[in-house]
Structure 1
Amino acid sequence: MASFRKQQWKMLLLTMMCYLFFYTGRHNFGWAAHGIAAEFNVPFETIGWISFAMLIGYAIGQFVNGNLADRFSARIMVPAGAYLSIAANVAVSFATSIEMVMVWWALNGFFQSMAWAPGGKIISNWWGNEEKGKAFGFYTMAAGLSSVVTYLLSILILKQDQEWRMLFRLPVLLLFVTATLFLIFVKDRPSDLGYTDLDHETKTDDQGDWLTRYKEVLGNKNFVIVTLAFAFESMARYGFIFWVPVHYLGTNWKDNAHNIWVTFLLPVGMAAGAVTFGNLSDNLFRRNRIASIRFGMFASAVVALVIFVAPAENTGLQAVVMLAAGFFVYGPQANFWTLCPEMLGNNRTGTGIGLMNMSGYLFAALGEPILGKLIDITGSTSHIFLLISLICLLSALVISTINPKAYMAYR
């Protein structure tokens, strides 16, 4: 039906558009790191702990909000998270102590967590099994492009010699607009517009209590292994996202202004990788998400090693490896998210996405102060890429322990 197809794409594109600007309230922090450290006279290890606090807040939020997405309206949850995150960002911009920055940034992590799993629930409701890989690929691409938008806006703000506080005030204005559009036009599922729902499982008023949903998801051994592989992938991803700006900005970035644009290629690669891996897993790998993920993480390990040994002054080479790093470390996420409905079914998709994302951000949180301490000890930012390479390798090895034929219950 042409009208339904139109609504399918409308819901996907609106969800993508909203999430396209979500990272303006989260990935802006790395760009403010130098300014915050200088103003409050703290080492980079402290900056790492602040990032840790946000990621822990996000992880806790995923644990709660993913489950809630299986019970309540995602249409309400997503914009609510956006509005609260905007408020937290503005509060950080007026902070007068490093403790205030940490508290508000931790709360911001929780607010930011109210979007991803509910958005994934909407996509799972509107797209059938045969096209879920493609749909989640586009959704993940929007998250990658969100990093592009945030990096671009942050670069432009810094090049205008604005103080770090403006990084928390200006970019989030765009999130306010898109979240409001989402609230007005998005519907949770096809039946809200009079169409027949696509679920193989019928929506009922009683989908089990919250504890039952957690037990069913955590009782799936293969899903738990996938979640562990995702956790290592997320640790590597955030190692790139947070510390790449620190690595290339240095203390005299204005003397080498071209370096700042090298960092911009990281999120560009992420966006390209997300949509590419979604289609690769559906076509080249014939819906074998495990093989697709393994390929991406092995490639990421190699790219991280190249960054470690490559001379920083070789801008051309650094540009290529930044593009490749984003492409391979983030692309597999499209396959991870698709595994949630395929392994758990639609009625547990929100809970599965939430638990998976919670694990990812817990690991990412643990990695931030470790990487910050590594910089303080070695006096060099290049060594973090050696550790990131090892983390990528661990993700590839863990995912390789799963037999793809063992998880096809809902395919």
Structure 2
Amino acid sequence: MDRKFSEYKWVGLITFALMYNLVYLGRFNVNNMMTLLAQDMNLTAARQEMVAMSVFISYALGSFINGYLADRIGAKKVVILGGTVSAFLNMAVAFQTKWVAVLLLWLTNGYFQSMIWVGGVALLANWWQEGERGKGIGIANFSSGMSHATAYLIPAGMMAAWPDMDWRVNFVLPMIILLAFTYIFGAAAVEKPEDRGLSGYEIKNHRHSVREKSLLKIAGRKEGPWRYFFSQKKFWWWCGIAMLSSVCRYGLLNWIPLYYEEVHGGKILSSTFSNLTLPIGMACGTLIITWIAGTKLFDNKGIIVTAMAALCGTLIVIFPMIEDTRAVLVGIFFTGFALYGINGILWLHAIDQGCRVFPGSAAGIFNGFAYLGACAEGVLFPAVINFFGDKMSVFVVMEGLCIGMVICGMVVSKKNTVIMPELRE
């Protein structure tokens, strides 16, 4: 492949990955600062929950819209717009004294945050072809997994270094860093090969080539691709995988540390270790599994979903039986590894479905369902605990969700599984 093409491809990937590693700073800021914010604004528990959930609700709804927007007006523009506006909305929170203003700002922030990932997937679809796409998406999603750790470490480090620092500073300083990396991405990344006089890659998979031609006809009529996507029966099952994996992902982030803190008095698992181990496991899992799924081995992505969901379900069963810190941390690492590996495969499938015409739209639908799952997690598990009166019930429900993912994975799997490169799908 042309050396210039390869350079632009890698520059776009690396600058986007570095930028996205900082994006969660602007998404979890309120959650990280909630205790101090609540004290300052005298927030009730219900109001705290409303503010914390608002970003996920608007993120889910925004994903359905912004994926198509990235395909229509340009992926790079959407990423820059989302990163820039999100940074300034975070800064605006620092100047508020009323909780309603914070709620409205955070709702708006969720919408603009939803532009960034779907725009990035759409841009990568223009450069990363079949047979190597798993490498590109794996590295990008690795940065997404690590951003959970970044969003925890930077605010925690700032508060540790300056314990008397006002919580509002955490809504300003990290956003300056995000703006800097958004600028670097904007200056260095290229939307598509044609913008530099290069030819786009040739699609080698016949099915994908036929699909792209069909989608080009839809785009030529100025129509949206939603009817096309949702007419594919297995597409709905992939939406289910997106939702179920997200419920489990945020459930693990929120409820495993809380379980060990309340049941064992925090003696087994500290919040620091749990807040770092799961994201690192997620990042490693999505890098390795997505890379393998889209580059080296498996032609059948559904069977990988089945295997990873089964592994996650197995680990969840044994968590309540473990009382050794090292064993718990190993379990948390590999649970994140399996769950976020599934997440990475979603974006490979989104590009397979949307090709270079509507990749953002397909990714936006999957991301929308994923964050509907994140919203559901905040309601589902507290309701389950209140109903059964036992925190162990969280693990039982999560096991049921993993079984649901196994079923979805089996449905989308091909009957004849062959180990071969993706381009021979």
Q: TM-score, normalised by structure 2?
A: 0.85
1:27 aligns with 2:19: no
1:348 aligns with 2:349: no
1:401 corresponds to: 411
- Contact 2:94–2:169 (8 Å) recurs in 1: yes
Q: CA deviation at 1:208?
A: 4.0
1:122 corresponds to: 123
Once the two structures are superposed, the pairs formed by residues 302-381 of structure 1 within 5 Å of their partners are: 302-311=314-323, 314-373=324-383
1:182 corresponds to: 185
Q: CA deviation at 1:37?
A: 4.9
- Give the 3 Å change call, closer, same or farther, for CA 60–154 of structure 1 in structure 2: same
1:76 aligns with 2:73: no
Q: CA deviation at 1:343?
A: 3.1
Amino acid across the alignment from 1:17? L
Aligned-pair RMSD on alpha carbons?
Answer: 3.3
Query: How many positions carry a matched residue from both structures?
Result: 408
Q: CA deviation at 1:383?
A: 5.1
Please give the alpha-carbon distance, in whole angstroms, between the structure 1 residues aligned to 2:275 and 2:390: 17
2:86 corresponds to: 85
Q: CA deviation at 1:396?
A: 2.1
Please give the alpha-carbon distance, in whole angstroms, between the structure 2 residues aligned to 1:34 and 1:21: 22
- Contact 2:135–2:295 (8 Å) recurs in 1: no
Which secondary structure does the structure 1 equivalent of 2:191 belong to? coil
Unpaired runs of 5+ residues, structure 1, are none
Q: CA deviation at 1:36?
A: 4.2
1:227 corresponds to: 239
Amino acid across the alignment from 2:61? I
- Contact 2:93–2:105 (8 Å) recurs in 1: yes
1:42 aligns with 2:44: yes
Which secondary structure does the structure 1 equivalent of 2:73 belong to? coil
2:114 corresponds to: 113
Please give the alpha-carbon distance, in whole angstroms, between the structure 1 residues aligned to 2:159 and 2:145: 21
Once the two structures are superposed, the pairs formed by residues 223-262 of structure 1 within 5 Å of their partners are: 223-243=235-255, 259-262=271-274
Please give the alpha-carbon distance, in whole angstroms, between the structure 2 residues aligned to 1:234 and 1:183: 29
Which secondary structure does the structure 2 equivalent of 1:107 belong to? helix
1:198 aligns with 2:210: no
- Give the 3 Å change call, closer, same or farther, for CA 258–54 of structure 1 in structure 2: closer
Please give the alpha-carbon distance, in whole angstroms, between the structure 2 residues aligned to 1:220 and 1:406: 20
Higher mean displacement: 98-107 or 335-344: 98-107
- Contact 2:234–2:411 (8 Å) recurs in 1: no
Please give the alpha-carbon distance, in whole angstroms, between the structure 2 residues aligned to 1:361 and 1:282: 24
Q: CA deviation at 1:289?
A: 0.9
- Contact 1:239–1:367 (8 Å) recurs in 2: yes
Please give the alpha-carbon distance, in whole angstroms, between the structure 2 residues aligned to 1:103 and 1:249: 33
Q: CA deviation at 1:405?
A: 6.3
Amino acid across the alignment from 1:365? C
Please give the alpha-carbon distance, in whole angstroms, between the structure 2 residues aligned to 1:240 and 1:116: 22
Q: CA deviation at 1:115?
A: 0.8
- Contact 2:247–2:377 (8 Å) recurs in 1: yes
2:148 corresponds to: 147
- Give the 3 Å change call, closer, same or farther, for CA 224–409 of structure 1 in structure 2: farther
Please give the alpha-carbon distance, in whole angstroms, between the structure 2 residues aligned to 1:104 and 1:187: 31
2:8 corresponds to: 7
Which secondary structure does the structure 1 equivalent of 2:173 belong to? coil
Q: CA deviation at 1:286?
A: 1.8
Please give the alpha-carbon distance, in whole angstroms, between the structure 1 residues aligned to 2:258 and 2:249: 15
Q: CA deviation at 1:300?
A: 1.7
- Give the 3 Å change call, closer, same or farther, for CA 392–28 of structure 1 in structure 2: farther
Higher mean displacement: 144-153 or 381-390: 381-390
1:156 aligns with 2:166: no
Q: TM-score, normalised by structure 1?
A: 0.87
- Contact 1:48–1:369 (8 Å) recurs in 2: no
2:52 corresponds to: 51
- Contact 2:9–2:128 (8 Å) recurs in 1: yes
- Give the 3 Å change call, closer, same or farther, for CA 206–259 of structure 1 in structure 2: closer
Amino acid across the alignment from 2:277? L
Please give the alpha-carbon distance, in whole angstroms, between the structure 2 residues aligned to 1:103 and 1:12: 33
2:226 corresponds to: 214
- Give the 3 Å change call, closer, same or farther, for CA 196–331 of structure 1 in structure 2: same
- Give the 3 Å change call, closer, same or farther, for CA 401–180 of structure 1 in structure 2: same
- Contact 1:341–1:410 (8 Å) recurs in 2: no
Q: Deviations over 1:97-120 (max 9, x none)?
A: 433332222211101001111110
Higher mean displacement: 12-21 or 367-376: 367-376
2:311 corresponds to: 299
- Contact 2:218–2:224 (8 Å) recurs in 1: no
Amino acid across the alignment from 1:330? Y
Please give the alpha-carbon distance, in whole angstroms, between the structure 1 residues aligned to 2:332 and 2:355: 36
Once the two structures are superposed, the pairs formed by residues 281-300 of structure 1 within 5 Å of their partners are: 281-282=293-294, 285-300=297-312
Higher mean displacement: 161-170 or 182-191: 161-170
Higher mean displacement: 369-378 or 82-91: 369-378
Please give the alpha-carbon distance, in whole angstroms, between the structure 1 residues aligned to 2:266 and 2:155: 15
Amino acid across the alignment from 2:53? F
1:132 corresponds to: 133
Which secondary structure does the structure 1 equivalent of 2:190 belong to? coil
Q: Percent identity?
A: 24
- Contact 1:266–1:323 (8 Å) recurs in 2: yes
Unpaired runs of 5+ residues, structure 2, are 204-211
Please give the alpha-carbon distance, in whole angstroms, between the structure 1 residues aligned to 2:222 and 2:254: 34
- Give the 3 Å change call, closer, same or farther, for CA 315–34 of structure 1 in structure 2: farther
